[in-house]
Structure 1
Amino acid sequence: MAAHCKHVGHYFHQNSRYLLSSLEHLLLRRTFGSNNAGCQENASARIAKECAEGIIIPKKKTWSKEAVLQALASTVNRDPTAPHYMFQDDPYLIPRTSAEFKLYSLSQESGRMAAKHIVNTNPKFFQKDFAEPHIPCLMPETMELRIEDVCEAALLERIKLRKVKAAVNMYDQLLQAGVTVPTDVTNDLLDLICFYGDRDPVQDDKPETEDLVETADDGRRRKGRPRRASDLVKIVWRENNNAERIFNLLPERGAGAYCALIRGMVKYGVPMKAFNTYTDMLNNRLSGDVHTFNALISAAPEVREKYNEKWDLIVDLLKQMNEQKVKPNLLTFNAVLKALRRCGSLARAQSLHTLSEMKALGIAPSLASFHHLLGIFYRAGSPSQGQTEILQEVITEVTGRTFVPQDPDDVYFFTTAMRICLDTKDIEAAYQVHNMLSVGDNWRLLGDSFQQSIYYGRFFNLICMMEHIDMILKWYKDLIPSLYFPNPQGMRDLLQALDTDNRLDMIPQIWADIRRMGHDNKSDLVEEMLSLMARDRHSPEIQHSFAVCALDVKSLYEQGQGAKMALEWTASSMSNITTILLAGQKTSQAWDMLKLFKTKNRVPSEEQMDEFLVRIKDPHEAVELVQISASFCLSNTAKLAQRVLQEFELTEEQKNILSELEVSTQMD
């Protein structure tokens, strides 16, 4: 494409005179006709003059290397019937359940990590680059040390390759050799140590072995099983570690060394020590940079107890920034908003003042800014009018805008906004939030697959509660499974929506999806579905489909005995399946269920026994039914015996059996 455009541009450049002449001739013919030679000459001169002054033909057109791909992508919409694009490499491996989705995603990530490890371990075999455009992240990284001598160049190489321990060892060797390390190199070393917490960084293609924590959507750190090493941080700042030791060895401690140490202390959980170091820096008449102030502002709530004291400390830091002529940036205000979430009731007014100050300085809020603002105004479990108003104001501010990642907390905005919509039951606001994803590349800020699952789960839950069934099914087909694999609660919400709109006839179709998604071993979900089918009576066609569905469920109970995560028979499940089979004219299968009651020491209901007697045509089975009822000590056994004596032609032996059962039951 680029070569073709280059050829076209060259063609225009070489033939510009001919094109101008042709354009002249065409315009003259249309304006004056073909016989007015004088007018043609005057018009020719005028057009030539205008063309010479106003028309500039470029020599060539410069195209982006991704222009063709972007143009093609803009013509294609998402196909809701197709799987997610990340699973389209092999149709056989397309996940059909949430468990398969998780397994495939982890396997795919593991494959990337293994490939990256092989490429980085053997870079000599991967020197040729055939990719167009060039993709630097797919090329091998230079991770091996080449300079073995004790020199400043070796130290710089280790810092560049992020070899923390090797860089510290080389620095110590230089000091022992009497070499003076320049201040800027020492500052770079301190930055490296403080950023990685005095340990070598964990590569994505290597497992993490130390205790780590992950960040929750509210910005706080919480313990959990690590999903990926690069997403996690270690929160250990050892006393007198290499950063503090090297800092104390410096003959002259500049602002860069102080700033690196403060940021490292804040990042790894010793905020009080960071503020003490900052005080020491001020005593030495040094100024911090904007990143240092951002770190201190985020740590301010950790070093004060009362809400007003926390805010006073934040204000004091902002004043010191102004005095030291440090210009705040977006992350500064986001740190203020994030800290305000832990400042109680005074946070609401101060957060609005913070946003006003941002706009006064010409700093546009990011999605993280609005995420923190919603967290300040909204408290789960206590919705109020002011909270819903701030949500609408945020939606108005964000709607129609395209955002790019600027803050790590940007990915939490959509899940937070949808959570508020769910808690306040505001379906219109939910649609507005969802429409924001289609603007530009905002969908990229939805987060990883875990965040996306949370977002779509809340959205679908709200739709099931607030919309009519036709709209629910529309979104069900649009979201599932191309974007979202619902959990058991999501399918339970769908069943409740079917019940609300009296569309229980669709339960067999939903059951097929439940099985496909791997939720057919969830006893609560299965029993709720059975109870809905057994509760009311429907047309014969619907009852027949219910009976087929109940037999499928029955097969799962029977096949799963002794298996891990299998369904276990309960009184309600047995009773509901029996009722469904009787209503669907599956008498023989229902009779098997009645025998199962006796085997499992469960008691059927009296209504079911009456229903059985209506369906039974064989006198022998009728007598056996009364015997089973007597074995369960049901109160209607005598009535069953009387009905059998009246409605069936029995032998004398059968009559005697029923008479004895009737007498014994009445005596009991």
Structure 2
Amino acid sequence: MYSSVIVPRQWTRFTCLCRSLTSVEGQKLPQNSKSSDGISPPPRKPRGPTDLLQALAATVGTDPTAAHYKYHDDPYLIPLSNFRKRSYALSAEAGRKAAAWIRDEHSNLFTTREWDPPTKNKTPYFNADPRIEAFAPKPIYNDASKVTEQDLKYTIQNALIDDSITIFQLLGGTSGVSEELKLQLLQLLCFYNEKEPESMEWLEERWFAANTRDRQAATWRLGGLADQIFESMDPKTPEAYCAMIQGMAKYYQAERAHMLTMEVKEKGIPLSTGVYNSLIGCVGFLREGTTLRVEALRSLLAEMHEQGISPNDETLSACLRSLSAWGGGKILQQMALSIVAEFRRLDIQPGLAAYYYLLCLFCKERGPRFDILSTIINELEQKEHLEAKEPADTNFFITAMGVCSDHLQNITMAERLHALLMKGDNYKLVGDAYKESIYYRHYVTVACRHASFEKTLELLDTLVPNVYVPEPSVMEEIIKTLEVGGAGDRLAQAWSQLVVFGHSKRARLVERLLDAMVNTYPGQEEEVKSKMRAAAADMLSFGQMTPEEKEMKDIRSPVQKLSATAVCNIIEMCSDTQDKADPLWKSVEVALQRLRKEEAAGVPARPQALADVAKKAAAVGLPGIAATAVTYLAECGFEEAMAASVHVLGTMLNRPEQEVEELLSQGQSALVSSLHPAAMAVAEAYSLAKTGGPIIQESERTSSSSDSDSDSSSDDE
């Protein structure tokens, strides 16, 4: 009954299958270069899964001003200070660590079905397809675990040190494990010194860690499990000897490594190239003095030649690393050059790590100037791309840029080095975030000191702030460059950058910026001057707390005070206005009160600037500000106080300076009855500057001079 329906359906499916096979066969490219119809298509090129994306990215190019891909591409979310970048990166990584903790602590949620009935066993399953071993929960081993040698092999292959030691003890120790697995475990323990390796997942935590330098001290674990396994092996294989010697030499247990090497030589056991590389790296711990160390290094190289052991790239790096660690001098430098020449005869070219050690050996901070970097860059520019072969390769670019900045002081060399870094995929060799910051610190510094002003501005616009946030020392170099170039607009913008970068509380940097603004202020246009005045007023008010806030906030460290010179600079710029109602005059008054209350450190370096401000204030009709300025000058004992007092009082009373001097010579009672309170304060400042004492006592004043700015003085007073 249903045969007439089923057969046509099966026939239709068969027809579709034949058509699809025909179409697929027609899409295949012939492997031969010729065909029967005369058409010769090119051979098929294998393509990767990301080749198309890389081709599209190459057409667009990279945006040098874009933020790092780990930050959100949003102007309101991109961090613009080193502290915020560090906090952002570490907080994002903390979220990933929390997810990993949940995965490891509650692994049963990822390996069983929770919705199975209670009477039924939980069904094992994998919650990811395809299964990614790195994201899967790690097995947990304890004293009650039933383990086999396969479990030990799994932990060794995945470098799980603690789990490997636990499984090794559960299997019975040295007597319950095969010789092959004991050798593999010994090699693992020697490589990591029986310590869990740092996880490769938490890059940001390693990048921002404080211990950026390796500690060169004997940290080999004496009497540990590695020594026990090695002593239990009978007979001891050459691989076991090599693992022990390399482990001891790697963790600077040089004497025991040397003794074990002598034992191996007596037994006639062959050693590998890696063993000699490790011995060369720690040969300096066995000898004292440059001459003895060089002789020991030569003896090791001669021994390799006698035994027919071929050196490699790591041998060259180990030799140069030892030479650079022993200090400097012509003997070590000539030895390094001879070693590099000998290895080139063996067709072994130095890598970035070898060049890094050469720079450390030749380009000392206080040593003579050697231009070895130009030769190195000439050789590297001839290569299409640079490859990373060892971790020390990432030290080359930051060290070379430091040589360009401090040792050679050559901007041309720095630009060539930066072009080499930006070539192809070489940027991955810049290292972590800390090394990248050091690299750009040197680059911006040498550009500010030795590049043209236009190139420096172009570089700053490209790098700051998304790629690089300048440190306070670099920011000071930038301010010096802008001051020399007379860029008042850029200096006003620099204050907002200090606020964004988190440097606004650094008094020294703010004072340096104020000095630069005052020096470049006279030659600027009016629009630029208004920006500079607004920036100066904001510097005065930024970071100041009200008395209530000071009581509520627990300030453990004292806040740095601006110097009196810096406050005087603010007063000088803010007073450059003829409008009496300008809000900047309020800033001038606040700054003067801060000077009188000794809230600024020291005394002004240019008291004549305050005298000029007093004259301006009196001219625009602000006698209270003028009186405060001349009073401060008199209290500090500046000689400019007398001349400023006479000029200001003459402006207030609209009388020539000669009549003012006659008025000041009158008696005390006449002055009290005839002068305005603000004018009386100026007269007292004159008397204080001339005789060292006021005309009247403070208690006899009827009102303060600060309240008289709204009153106008006339000739009848």
Q: Does structure 2 conserve the Cα–Cα contact (< 8 Å) formed by 1:514 and 1:520?
A: yes
Map of 1:39 onto structure 2: none
- Residue number in structure 1 paired with 2:111: 124
The letter of the residue matching 1:577 is I
Structure 1 residue aligned with 2:311, among 328, 341, 357?
328
Amino acid at match of 2:26: Y
2:47 — aligned with what? 63
Contact 2:575–2:616 at 8 Å: present in 1 too?
Answer: no
Residue aligning to 1:34: none
Q: CA deviation at 1:589?
A: 2.6
Q: Post-superposition shift, 1:304?
A: 1.0
**1:472-518 deviation digits (Å, cap 9, x = unpaired):** 11001111123211111221111101122222342112222222222
Deviations 1:68-108 (A, max 9, x none): 12212222322234222221366653112111111112223
Structure 2 match to 1:357:
342
Whether the 8 Å CA contact 2:152–2:164 is kept in 1: the answer is yes
Bigger drift between 563-572 and 441-450 goes to: 563-572
- Cα offsets for 1:633-667 (capped at 9, x unmatched): 44343333432443333782347776666455433
Distance change (3 Å), C-alpha of 1:80 and 1:305? same
In structure 1, the partner of 2:14 is none
- Which residue of the partner structure matches residue 589 of structure 1? 587
Paired position in structure 2 for 1:300: 283
Alpha-carbon distance, 1:249 to partner: 2.0
Structure whose CA Rg is larger: 2
**Is the aligned partner of 1:94 residue 2:88?**
no
The 2-side partners of 1:149 and 1:623 are apart by: 91
The answer as to 2:157 corresponding to 1:160 is yes
What does 1:543-554 correspond to in 2, within 5 Å? 543-554=529-540
1:370 to 355, 359, 369: 355
Amino acid in the other structure paired with 2:611: M
Amino acid at match of 1:308: T
Conserved 8 A contact 1:300-1:310: yes
Q: 1:665 to 1:571 in 2, by over 3 A?
A: closer
Matches within 5 A, 1:282-301: 282-301=265-284
- The 3 A distance-change label for structure 1 pair 637 and 139 is closer
Residue 458 in structure 1 maps to residue 451 in structure 2:
no
Aligned to 2:639: 635
Distance 1:608 1:176, change over 3 A: closer
CA shift, 1:418, in A, is 0.5
Q: Which residue of 2 aligns with 1:399?
A: 381
CA contact (8 A) 2:343 2:349 kept: yes
Structure 1 position 653 matched with structure 2 position 668 = no
Match of 1:518 among 482, 502, 516: 502
Amino acid at match of 1:311: V
Distance 1:7 1:282 in 2: 69
Partners in 1 of 2:127 and 2:149 — Cα distance? 32
Tell me the equivalent position of 2:292.
Answer: 309
Q: 1:426 maps to what in 2?
A: 410
Alignment of 1:381-396 (within 5 A): 381-384=366-369, 387-388=370-371, 390-396=372-378
For the pair 1:318 / 2:301, whether they are aligned, the reply is yes
Residue deviations 1:216-267 (CA, integer Å, cap 9, x gap): 3xxx537xxxxxxxxxxx9632331111122122221121111111122122
Identity of aligned residues (%): 26
Taking the aligned partners of 1:70 and 1:215, their CA distance within structure 2 comes to: 34
| Inter-CA distance 130–426: structure 2 relative to 1 (3 Å threshold) | farther
CA deviations over 1:276-330 (Å, ceiling 9, x no partner): 1111111221122122111111011121112122122222222322333332221
TM-score (norm 2): 0.76
* Alignment-mate amino acid for residue 199 of structure 1: K
Question: 2:612 aligns to what?
Answer: 610
2:65, 2:467 within 8 Å by CA — same for their partners in 1?
no
- The verdict on how the C-alpha distance between 1:538 and 1:200 changes in structure 2, with shifts beyond 3 A counting, is closer
Contact 1:80 1:477 in 2 (8 A): no
- 2:674 maps to a residue whose letter is E
Partner of 2:233: 250
Any conservation in 2 of the 1:457–1:486 contact (CA below 8 Å)?
A: yes
Q: Confirm or deny that 1:238 pairs with 2:216.
A: no
Change (3 A) 1:634 1:357: closer
- Which amino acid is 1:666 matched to? K
Are 1:490 and 2:474 counterparts?
A: yes
SS in 1 for 2:282: helix
2:379 aligned partner, one-letter code: E
- Letter of the 2:572 counterpart: T
**Structure 1 residues 303 and 620 mapped into 2: Cα distance closer, same or farther (>3 Å)?**
same
Between the aligned partners of 1:213 and 1:619, the Cα distance in structure 2 is 56
Trace 1:201-240 onto structure 2 (pairs within 5 A). Answer: 201-203=197-199, 214=211, 216=213, 221=215, 236-240=219-223
After superposition, what is the alpha-carbon deviation per residue over 1:188-241, rounded to whole angstroms, capped at 9, x for unaligned? Answer: 111121122123445467999xxx99453xxx537xxxxxxxxxxx96323311
C-alpha distance in structure 1 between counterparts of 2:462 and 2:133, whole Å: 34
Q: In the aligned structure 1, how far is the partner of 2:260 from the partner of 2:389?
A: 28
Change (3 A) 1:56 1:657: closer
- Structure 2 unmatched ranges of 5 or more: 1-20, 113-124, 579-583, 655-672, 693-717
For 1:648, what is the secondary structure of its paired residue? Answer: helix
Q: Secondary structure at the match of 1:483?
A: coil
Counterpart Cα distance in 1 of 2:516 and 2:174 = 82
Contact 2:80-2:466 within 8 A present in 1 as well: no
Contact 1:543 1:584 in 2 (8 A): no
Alpha-carbon distance in 2 for matches of 1:187, 1:16:
48
Q: Distance in 1 between matches of 2:160 and 2:480?
A: 57
Q: Aligned match of 1:504 in 485, 488, 492? A: 488
Which residue does 1:480 correspond to in 2? 464
Say if 2:191 is the partner of 1:190.
no
* Residue 66 of structure 2 corresponds to residue 82 of structure 1: yes
Q: Deviations over 1:554-604 (max 9, x none)?
A: 111424885767552332222121112123554343133222221226655
Residue 371 of structure 1 contacts residue 417 of structure 1 at CA under 8 Å; is this kept in 2?
yes
1:451 shift after superposition: 0.4
Which residue matches 1:230? none
Bigger mean CA deviation after superposition, 74-83 or 164-173: 164-173
Aligned to 2:95: 111
Counterpart of 1:231? none
Relative distance call for 1:258 and 1:601 in structure 2 (3 A) is closer
Measure the CA separation in 2 of the matches of 1:57 and 1:80.
38
Change (3 A) 1:644 1:296: closer
For structure 1, the 5+ residue unaligned runs are: 1-5, 25-47, 223-233
Could you say if the C-alpha distance between residues 631 and 379 of structure 1 is closer, same or farther in structure 2, counting changes exceeding 3 Å?
A: closer
Match for 1:591: what amino acid? E
How far apart are the structure 1 equivalents of 2:48 and 2:488?
54
